[in-house]
Amino acid sequence: MKDNPNLIDSIHLKEVQRIFKLLSNPHRLQMLKILENNPMKVNDIAATFSLEQTVVSHQLSILKQHQLVNSTKRGRFNYYQLNDPHILDIVNEALGHADHVIRGKKRVSVKSYWWDHEVL
């Protein structure tokens, strides 16, 4: 690559790509959001999303492997919490952008609905 200060170096580019790949799974994304305010046990997370405990454990394992969550043993249970809370900055920015896009589409579809139905 040429010396351009706006280009991302290959090491950072690969890491950002890895982060976005992790966040592309809807289960992992939901788990990060639900762990935003309080630690939770696997079975509580599974119940929240109506998922099998094995699915939740697998996704939490991936998040833990990539240092986004960690766990603390309390009695017989592991409680999972965010290990890297600023990951939610990325998630919340993406949600803000999604809301912007959705609102824009809703305006268009509402307008076209009214136009198509000759209410105007």
Encode pLDDT of 38-60 as tens digits: 999 999 999 999 999 999 999 99
Residue 71, pLDDT above cutoff 60: yes
CATH assignment of 1-84, given 3.50.50.60, 1.10.10.10, 2.30.30.90, 3.30.1360.120? 1.10.10.10
User: For the chain, which residues make up each domain, given as ranges?
Assistant: 1-84, 86-120
Has this prediction a pTM greater than 0.85? no
Q: Which pLDDT band, with edges at 50, 70 and 90, does 2 fall under?
A: low
Closest CA to 43 of 86, 15, 79, 71: 79
